[in-house]
Amino acid sequence: MAKTRSFNYLAGISTGTVRMLLHVLVGVFLTPFTLHYLDREEFAVFSLTLELLTWLTLLDVGISAGLRIQAARLSGKPDQEKLNRMASTAFFAQNFIVLVVLLLGVGMAVAFPYFFPVRATLQHDATLLMVLSVLGAALSIGSQTFSALLIANQQMHVDNILGLLLIAIRTVLTITLLKFGCGVYSLAIAHLVSRFVTAIMAVVRTYRLIPGLQIKYHLASWEMFRQIGGLGIWFSLGGLAGIVIHSLDSTVTAKVVSVETVTSFLLTGRFYELAGGLVWLISENARPMLGQMFGQNKMGEGLTAYRQLFTFSTGLAVVAAFSVWSGNSSFVTKWVGPVNYTGKFTDLAMAFTMIAGLWIMPNRVVLSANLAVRAQCLVRLLEGALNLGLSIILGKMYGLIGIVVATFIASATTSMWLLPLFTARMFNRPFIRFVWDDAAKVLLLILCLFPVALVARGIATDFTGYLGAAAGAGLTGVCGLALVWFVMLDKSMRARLPIRNLYESAYARTLRVFTRPAAR
């Protein structure tokens, strides 16, 4: 079982990394290509459309998240009958939600061009764009049961492969439709078609993974819905907080500053989002594995896994954030023009905001895996409310930099110390010592690496362009990884790292696949 967990975890990390890197490469190419066919306001309208769609996902009331956690814990002690009842209940509940999403989405589409200060010639296009995007969101929600079952069974690599296919379809369609003159509709149509294809493939793969899976109406029950939804509602509230924390910045920018500034904000922050996504994989892919551990009451193993997750994810978050900051100015100005770069101080604020967001990820994952969801969601809601209020106030006073700084302040005063408190209590550890053991080396890493990043940024500015960006980010990244190895990890931890065993397990599993005799 341990080897299977390790192999699946490694497979999830590997395919997730490939997925994120492809996303980076496609974004590097596709963004300037798209801006060649669309103006900055059209690009911002599509981005705001996707941001608004995240609100519709809250109608899921946490069913998908609840199913993932419950099914993951169940996978440690298989019960096919209970799994079928869970899956059936989630599927039919989500299909009802799809109808609600379509109705509300159409209403949002009608109101969209009047809520944001969109120019008159773009208002009709904005409405139709929203309608197409809502259809894509409905497809995504309708297939979430199958994605949840894949992830619960540690098949994250399958979900990532489907994500790679989605990127490929969306990219090809976007390029083709833009060239044929479909304008802003190109992005929405490509989004809709790619969602449809990958949703169908997720259904097929899930039935192959779980041969005894049955999704039937008579297996659904109100009692099971209450069990899944009782846990899931807190995930939904956590999702609401996440939207307020991470997604409303664009909306506040559009209302407080301007719609066009949203484009600069998103493009300057694009590589923080992508680099953060790579680091996020380290913690997120451990969620099913941790759920299995806690389902078997292996708290000692869970604590060890948490320590490793925090060390790696937070250390790499610092390295990734400072590496992006070192080369971001040179890259963005060459990539999409100086008008789309927000300035060095806003850039630096984005770097620290990324670190703050990833600092708490191991806590969120380990608490959720042990079903300790309610308290952390309340904290996240508090952070979201504080973030929204500060973003509006500081945005009016200082513009875009005030909005970004508000996100960091809100996190530092709430989640960054309250979530570690809950984690310490869960593992029955003294809070101060628990936090100090986590934070001391990270703070030392920040103090050591920031001067390097500052020098590297100067080098990047001197070289300018892509070469300068690569030089600045590369210098910071190499120095940062060396510091993680020698500062974050002591000798005993390096000796205990399971990297060799993980790769040997992956090699053995792969060898068996290719040498297994063909079925007669």
Question: Could you state, in order of their start, the residue ranges of all structural domains in the chain?
Answer: 1-220, 234-514
The C-alpha atoms of residue 194 and residue 178 are separated, in whole angstroms, by 16
Which pLDDT score, from 0 to 100, does residue 118 have?
Answer: 78
For residue 59, the one-letter residue type is L
Residue 496 has pLDDT above 60, yes or no: no
269-296 mean pLDDT:
80
Q: Nearest CA to 150 among 209, 95, 66, 103? A: 209
Structure tokens at 412: 């530092």
Type of residue found at 269 = G
> Nearest CA to 350 among 406, 416, 388, 397?
406
What was the pLDDT predicted at 517?
45
Find, among 181, 172, 182, 90, the residue nearest to 132 by Cα: 182
Query: pLDDT digits over 425-470, tens only?
Result: 999 999 999 999 888 989 999 999 999 999 999 999 888 889 999 9
3-state helix, strand, coil in the chain (%, to 5): 90, 0, 10
Report residue 72's pLDDT band, with 50, 70 and 90 as the boundaries. low
pLDDT in tens, 348-366: 999 999 999 999 999 998 9
Q: How far is CA 348 from the centre of its chain?
A: 21
pLDDT bin (cut points 50, 70, 90) of residue 284 is: confident
Share of the chain above pLDDT 90, in %: 27
Cβ–Cβ contacts within 10 Å for residue 511, how many? 10
| 208: pLDDT strictly greater than 80 | no
Q: Which two tokens stand for residue 380?
A: 């996240």
The Cα 454–Cα 476 span in angstroms is 9
User: Three-class SS of residue 297?
Assistant: coil
Tokens read off for 136: 């894509």
Extract the tokens encoding 420.
């570690």
Q: Which of 308, 303, 279, 299 has the alpha carbon at shortest distance from 493?
A: 308
pLDDT digits (tens, 9 = 90+) for 10-59: 666 677 778 777 877 787 788 888 888 888 788 888 888 877 777 777 67
The answer, yes or no, to whether residue 199 has pLDDT greater than 60, is yes
Which tokens hold the place of 483? 């510091």
Q: Which residue in 5, 7, 6, 13 sits closest to 285, CA to CA?
A: 13
Instruction: Judge whether residue 192 has pLDDT over 80.
Output: yes
Length of the chain: 520
- What band does 73 get if pLDDT is binned at 50, 70 and 90? low
Q: How confident is the model at residue 6 (pLDDT cuts 50, 70, 90)?
A: low
Give residue 206's pLDDT. 79
